[in-house]
Every structure is written in C-alpha cells, then in structure tokens.
Structure 1
Amino acid sequence: MISELSIIHPTAKIGKNVTIEPFVTIGENVEIGDDSIIMSGAKIVKNTKMGKGNKVFNLAVVGGDPQDLKFVGEETYLEIGDNNMLREFCTINRGTASRQKTVIGNNCLIMAYCHVAHDCVLGNNIIMSNTAQLAGEVEVDDFAIISGGVLVHQFSKIGKHVIIQGGALVNKDIPPYIVAARFPITYTGVNIIGLQRRGFTEEQINEIKNIYRLVFHSDMIVSEAIERVSSEFAPNAIRNEIIDFIKNSDRGILKGTSTSCREKAE
C-alpha cells in the first residue's frame, strides 16, 4: 500500500509489497526493496538504496546530507542492506568525497534518536540503543552492541561481538569480543554472555580471555603483548582477528588495567 498523501520522486524505485504510509517523503534516486515498511512522517532524502524487509519508523530521516563543512554537494550515497529496523527520529547521513558512501549491513537495529554520520560503515546484526551517536567514518563490525547514550569519536573502529556500556565516550579503537565502559574508555572484560549466545565454545572463550590477559593485564606495552600472543597461541581465526585488529589500529586501542596498555599499537 502506497498512500496518496506521500510524496515520491519520479526517479524513485519502489519494490513489491512495500507499505508507504501518509506524509512520507521519498526523494531523488532512492530504491526501496521488497516487503519494506516506511512509516508516517519518515523521510528518505536522496541517493539511498535499501534492500528487502526494512522498516523505517515515524520521523526518521535517512539519506540526508552529511553534516560536514567539507561537503559541497558532490554526489554521495547511502547503502542499507536487508531486514533493518530504523526507529523514530534516527538520522543516517550519506557519505562525502572521503569514502563516497555510508553503509549499513543486514539485520541491524538502530533505535530512537541515534545518529549515523557520513561515511560510517556498519556490518550485520548491530544494535545501537537509544541516543547512541556515531561521528564520521566510524567502522562497526558484526554483532556489536552500542548501548544508550554512547558517543563515538570520528574514525574509531569497533570490533566484532563488542558491547559498549551505556554513556561511554569512545575515542579509541575497541578490539573484538570485549566489554568496554567508562571514560576514559576502558577494557572491563570479555563479552562472555554474548559469545555464548552466539555459539562460541568454552575453549574459544577461554582463549580470548587468555589473549586479553596479556594485552590488558600485563606490564607489557601493547606491541610486546601482541608479539607474545603471536608466539604463544596457535594460529586460528579468533587469534588472528585480534592480532590484525590491534596491529591495524590507527587511533590506538582502549586502555586496560595496566598503564602500559595506553601505548598505541605499533
């Protein structure tokens, strides 16, 4: 059902079995996939491609211009996958010349009043709780949970299966599989419950714990700890992902209980 009280640009492409409620605005070069629902008052601004089964709630603004003074009207884009839920008053901006597009994967829940800024890249199965805010060019990996009121600094990276507790201020990279909290943002443990829910074995979880004991609970600087991890743990997908994330961190990782862990990964 498409309401006659909505405004749909002639270039927009609407899939099958899409519901568009009254007072929706759908702008130029927008694609909405099959079985999606766009609720009353929502606005899909421009250059946005949405997959199947998405639900955009009342008064969300999706695909708006980036809030970046360097943006001068260049053609940039927003890509959204399948089965996402974008709740009331959330705002998701298009990219800038830096990366050309903002990307959101599949099965994400972005709650009310959240903001996803220009050029962010979000993976799959991500939850952003109410009023969480991502600055420009933030990267969030699969199954991360960003709790209510969290503020994430531009260019930060958040690893897979991370949970960031409510109200935290994130100005460092957050390696995969952990819980982060407080300000300065601090390692508070492994995300054991989340990993168990997602099928990680006890052996895998114990390995993650042991790796992060070296990284966060030793007197070694981060680069030394990673060398120890590389030599003492057999190569596997989990160990390799942690090592690669920390080695490739541009902002440096969050601190642990040891002051030595404040040093940026080399």
Structure 2
Amino acid sequence: MRNLMGIHATAFVHSDAIVHPSCEIGLNVVIDGPARIGPDCHFGPSAIVLGNTEIGEGCSVHSHAVIGDIPQDHKFTGAISYCRIGQACVIREGVTIHRACVEGEATVIGDRCYLMTNSHVAHDCVLADEVTLISGALLGGHVQIGHKAIISGNTGIHQFVRIGEMAMVGGVAMISQDIPPFAMTNHDGEIAGLNAIGLMRAGVTKDERDEIKALFKIVYRSGMSLERAVNLARELAVTEAGRRFVEFFDADSRRGIRRLSNRRKSVV
C-alpha cells in the first residue's frame, strides 16, 4: 500500500514492502526489502529500513537512523532473521538497530521506547516497553532491558547482560554484569542504591517502595551470601513489585549479578 502524496519523490520503497497509506516517507528515505510499516509513522530525511523489519503504529524515525541492517557479528552467515519495533516509538538521529543473528529470531523494541541520538541496539536484543536510551548508549548483542529502564548517555552494555525494570544506569559507564530491577548505578557501573525518585514518578505505591527498599537491603547490605539473601528475600516478598525484584535473581544469568559499590555509600 502506497500513498504517493506521503512518499517523497526522492524516497525508495521496495516493491515487497508494505507501508500504510497514512505514513509520511521523507526525503531520500530507503525502505528496502519486505518491511512492514504500520499506520501514522513518520520517516525523516535519509532514514533507512532494511530486511524483515516490522514497525508498529505511530513511530517517528528521524534522519539517518538505520533499522534492520545485518548484525555486526562474524558468526552471521545470512540467516533469515527479524527486527520488530513496537508502537509509538521515537528513534532519533543516527540510531542503529540491527536484526537478529540467530535464524528465525528477532531484535525487539517494545512500545513507547525512546532511543536518543546515536544510540545502538545490537542483534538479538530485547527491550521492554518504555525503555529510554540516552544519546550514545550502546547495547551489545543479546542484551535484555526491562520496562521503563533508563540507560544514560555514552554507556556501554556488555553482550548478554540483563537490566531490570526501572533501573537507572549511570552515564559513561561500562556495564558487564546484570543490574537488578529498581537499582541505580554510578558512573563506574557499580550498584549505588535504589532508583527511589524513578519509583515515585512511576506511581509505585508506598507499600511497594518500602518492601523493595527492605529487600534491597537484605540482598545488598546484610552481609549474607547472595544465595542466602535471595532465599530470605523470596520468603518476605508479598507485593507484586517485591516479587519481581526477587524473580530477577532467580532467572538464568550469563554474566552474573552486579554487587554493591565498595567505594561510596549506597543510597536507598
């Protein structure tokens, strides 16, 4: 489906692509291959969409963003893989999002995500809804980012790392281990405390915030082994948010869980 009034004369849209008539396709935009573009999307000058990419309703893709290119991985041998973008996402200038490396798998961006300038999402990453990547944030392959997490500017996330929901990752950091839900890191990538302001702004109830604080102290400040602390936290968690905090530690981890900073007092 093409609306000639909404596609600039200099744009290229492949014959296999399906673009909703309500979309605006700007100057020198390239949509190459069997892409699927939902209603009311806007593509700024020189934006590029490649391969088996799906983009949901109401997304804004700004100038020179590249979505769905092949993975930067020597193991990639041309497998048929995918890139899926949810609804109402904002993808700013120079952002790159690569499709999956694994046959039949997808790099996934959830709904209402905000990817700021020159941020990068590598192959096989999965971002939940309302994730924010601030300018220059770089995600390695197979990274998982939880709901409403914020990755600050010029921060690198090692491949296979998990970032929990509503975590706040500090700027110019290198994150090489998992960051649990609701946690905040410093610029060295160490756990510095809880994202207390973020929890309040997100409407997390006082009971949930109090429980998360108590569970965080058990896991990070009790002096127990991680296994023993998580077992105790599991017994004490009664709210949904508290259970989600504990469940993060129960899931498989390729990189291990980041421990508390030893160089500065934590903030809870």
Question: Aligned-pair distance for 1:98?
Answer: 6.1
Partner of residue 240, structure 1: 243
Alignment of 1:55-204 (within 5 A): 55-97=60-102, 100-183=105-188, 185-204=189-208
Partner of residue 263, structure 1: none
Question: Aligned-pair distance for 1:147?
Answer: 0.5
Would you say the 8 A contact 2:65–2:91 is kept in 1?
A: yes
Gap regions ≥5 residues in structure 2:
1-5, 264-268
In the alignment, the residues of structure 2 paired with residue 64 and residue 34 of structure 1 have an alpha-carbon distance, to the nearest angstrom, of: 22
Question: Tell me, what secondary structure is at the counterpart of 1:10?
Answer: coil
In the alignment, the residues of structure 2 paired with residue 33 and residue 230 of structure 1 have an alpha-carbon distance, to the nearest angstrom, of: 42
Q: Which of the residues 33, 54, 57 maps onto 1:49?
A: 54
Partner of residue 219, structure 1: 223
Work out the percentage of aligned pairs sharing the same amino acid. Answer: 33
Question: Tell me, what secondary structure is at the counterpart of 2:229?
Answer: helix
Would you say the 8 A contact 1:211–1:229 is kept in 2?
A: yes
Residue identity opposite 1:69 in structure 2: H
In the alignment, the residues of structure 1 paired with residue 234 and residue 26 of structure 2 have an alpha-carbon distance, to the nearest angstrom, of: 55
Gap regions ≥5 residues in structure 1:
260-266
In the alignment, the residues of structure 1 paired with residue 129 and residue 101 of structure 2 have an alpha-carbon distance, to the nearest angstrom, of: 22
Question: Tell me, what secondary structure is at the counterpart of 2:67?
Answer: strand
In the alignment, the residues of structure 1 paired with residue 242 and residue 68 of structure 2 have an alpha-carbon distance, to the nearest angstrom, of: 37
Q: 1:3 to 1:137 in 2, by over 3 A?
A: same
Q: Which of the residues 7, 32, 35 maps onto 1:30?
A: 35
Runs of 4 or more consecutive aligned structure 1 residues displaced over 4 Å after TM superposition: none
Partner of residue 229, structure 1: 233
Q: Which of the residues 196, 202, 209 maps onto 2:213?
A: 209
In the alignment, the residues of structure 2 paired with residue 191 and residue 98 of structure 1 have an alpha-carbon distance, to the nearest angstrom, of: 37
Question: Tell me, what secondary structure is at the counterpart of 1:205?
Answer: helix
Aligned residues: 257
Question: Aligned-pair distance for 1:241?
Answer: 1.1
Residue identity opposite 1:114 in structure 2: S
Question: Tell me, what secondary structure is at the counterpart of 2:52?
Answer: strand
Residue identity opposite 1:79 in structure 2: R
Would you say the 8 A contact 1:39–1:56 is kept in 2?
A: yes
Would you say the 8 A contact 1:99–1:119 is kept in 2?
A: no
Q: Which of the residues 251, 258, 265 maps onto 1:254?
A: 258
Would you say the 8 A contact 1:115–1:132 is kept in 2?
A: yes
Question: Aligned-pair distance for 1:96?
Answer: 1.2
Would you say the 8 A contact 1:216–1:257 is kept in 2?
A: no
In the alignment, the residues of structure 1 paired with residue 41 and residue 29 of structure 2 have an alpha-carbon distance, to the nearest angstrom, of: 13
In the alignment, the residues of structure 2 paired with residue 249 and residue 130 of structure 1 have an alpha-carbon distance, to the nearest angstrom, of: 30
In the alignment, the residues of structure 2 paired with residue 88 and residue 244 of structure 1 have an alpha-carbon distance, to the nearest angstrom, of: 36
In the alignment, the residues of structure 2 paired with residue 51 and residue 230 of structure 1 have an alpha-carbon distance, to the nearest angstrom, of: 37
Q: Residues 144-180 of structure 1, C-alpha deviation per residue, up to 9 Å, x if partnerless?
A: 0000011000000011111101111111111101111
Q: Residues 214-236 of structure 1, C-alpha deviation per residue, up to 9 Å, x if partnerless?
A: 111121111111122123x1433
Residue identity opposite 1:243 in structure 2: V
Q: 1:230 to 1:115 in 2, by over 3 A?
A: same
Question: Tell me, what secondary structure is at the counterpart of 2:33?
Answer: strand
Residue identity opposite 2:153 in structure 1: G
Question: Aligned-pair distance for 1:182?
Answer: 3.1
